[in-house]
Amino acid sequence: MIFKSDFIRNINFFFYKKKHLIFYIIIGFLSLIFELFLRKLIINYISSNEIILHLSLVSGILFAFYFNVKFNFNVPKIYLKKSLIYFFLISTCSYLAQYFLRNQIELRNYSFEEARILISGSFFLIAYFFHIKFSFRETRKVGVAIYANGYEDIKTIFNKIGPYPDFIHVDIVDKTMNDHALNPNLSKLEVVRAYWPNHSIETHIMSKNPLSLINNEILNFSDIIYVHNEIENKTEVIKKIEDKNKIPGIVLHSIYEYTNLENLISNFKQILILSIKKPGFSGQEFNEKSYELIDKINSMKIRNDFTVCVDGGVKSKIINKFISEKVVSGSEVLNNANPIRKIMSLQTLARYEK
């Protein structure tokens, strides 16, 4: 029975990992149908074959891009323009290669439409590889929060969410930020790494004096280590993280009013917005003031120099209301009747509709 359960889980995860490719192929086929339908529709009104070809091709590319972004790849709004440029260039190069191939192959027994579908199908995987590497490289990632404070069982959490999150977010909180915090169990970092060996592990230290917490467990088993802007000895803390070739991130808490934001974050590649009022308490509502802080950061001239992660109170109903490359969800996922489906829902909900 256990073997059967594991087998089904592996099969489901296989199809989950391939879902982008499956949807890409379906959308690609529909875009071809749309392109060829449009060609037949306008061929009686436009005499130039070149205009017909170019117009139908561009329409097909835009069709494919729109539906891939709408239903397949959750590209944040700030990257849509770049994504469209790459998509258009790759799709055009793919078509030119197909055009050259069609002229080299004897296809007299096929109509234009049949030859177009036949040759395009052979290029789907090649084009998909380049689109993944360039057009849809920037997509919103969803992480699940785990507290390293003694009361959460890592194995139980893994059985709930499996490998479905894009990354694992480990929260470490001490009494300097939360009077009710349990003593951190830093050995859990090694356990987290063991269960998710291929995932990015992002550790958020909620402490006013993180130097006392940053030890080998955190440094060895974390990829990104976030510390709060208000901490003591910030320069020393950042150096200690960088000396271990780990990535330091800065936490901006939405309860504060920040001036000179650009100077605060200019030296960091990873920015975390803590979007709840009290650090270290799970299940809080999203702090409305977070929207203003996120908007200020997204409007900066240096915005493309860093990645934004929003952490705290992130739920399906509000995830569309802000722009970020990453989000972290804890109780919304772990307390759900179907945690895996909830993760997939958050990964899919990428529309910005403020």
Question: 168 vs 133, 317, 337, CA distance in Å?
Answer: 23, 22, 20
pLDDT of 297: 96
pLDDT of 353: 44
Q: 10 Å Cβ neighbour count for 49?
A: 10
pLDDT of 1: 46
- For the chain, domains (ranges, CATH) are 2-135 (no CATH), 141-348 (3.20.20.70)
- The backbone torsions φ and ψ at residue 305, rounded to the nearest 5 degrees and listed phi first, read -90, -10
pLDDT of 90: 96
β-partners of residue 247 are 224
pLDDT of 150: 67
Give me the tens of pLDDT residue by residue for the chain, a chain 354 residues long. 444 466 676 777 777 778 899 999 999 999 999 999 998 889 888 878 778 878 999 999 999 999 999 889 988 888 999 999 999 999 999 988 888 887 777 666 777 778 778 888 888 889 999 999 999 988 899 999 999 986 779 999 999 999 999 999 999 999 999 888 888 889 999 999 999 999 999 999 999 999 989 989 999 999 999 999 999 889 999 999 999 999 999 999 999 999 889 999 999 999 999 999 999 888 899 999 999 999 999 999 999 999 999 999 999 889 989 999 999 999 999 999 999 999 988 988 644 444
**Max CA separation in the chain (angstroms):** 79
Instruction: Compute CA 235 distance to the chain's CA centroid, rounded to the nearest angstrom.
Output: 29
Listed residue (282, 281, 354, 283) closest to 317, CA to CA: 354
Distance CA 271, CA 264 (A): 10
Distance CA 304, CA 105 (A): 45
Residue corresponding to tokens 């190069």: 93
